[in-house]
Amino acid sequence: MSDASQELQSEVAGLIASALNLDIRPDEIKADAPLYGEGLGLDSIDILEVALVVSKRFGFQLRSDNPDNGQIFTSLASLTRHIAAHRTK
């Protein structure tokens, strides 16, 4: 993973941790651990919160009706890849 990718992933982990007031540090969020259920334990409301902060920070909409959401929100790594591909800022 490039330095820029690692930096973006760290930033996204920080956004998730702060948006959801998680009791873990951003560097404790494993890149390939599931965001839903097991892993980080997020639910659909948490994912909506994450989508909102990501949209504000990176300048593109993560829509609730996107058929790829299951893929996008699989893990921190998959979310970071999606942001890298679609960000406008």
Please give the pLDDT value at position 1. 73
Answer whether 7's CB lies under 8 Å from 13's CB.
Answer: no
pLDDT recorded at residue 64: 85
According to the CATH classification, is domain 3-86 in 1.10.1200.10?
yes
The Cα 39–Cα 28 span in angstroms is 11
Tokens of 46: 């948490």
Residue 54's nearest CA partner among 81, 27, 25 is 81
Burial of residue 69, with CB atoms counted within 10 A of its CB: 0-12 exposed, 13-18 middle, 19 or more buried:
middle
Helices H / strands E in the chain, number of each: 4, 0
pLDDT tens, 19-29? 999 999 999 99
Q: 0.85 cut: is pTM over it?
A: yes
Domain map of the chain by residue range? 3-86
Q: What pLDDT is recorded for position 39?
A: 86
Write the pLDDT tens digit of every residue in 30-67.
999 999 888 899 999 999 999 999 999 999 999 888 99
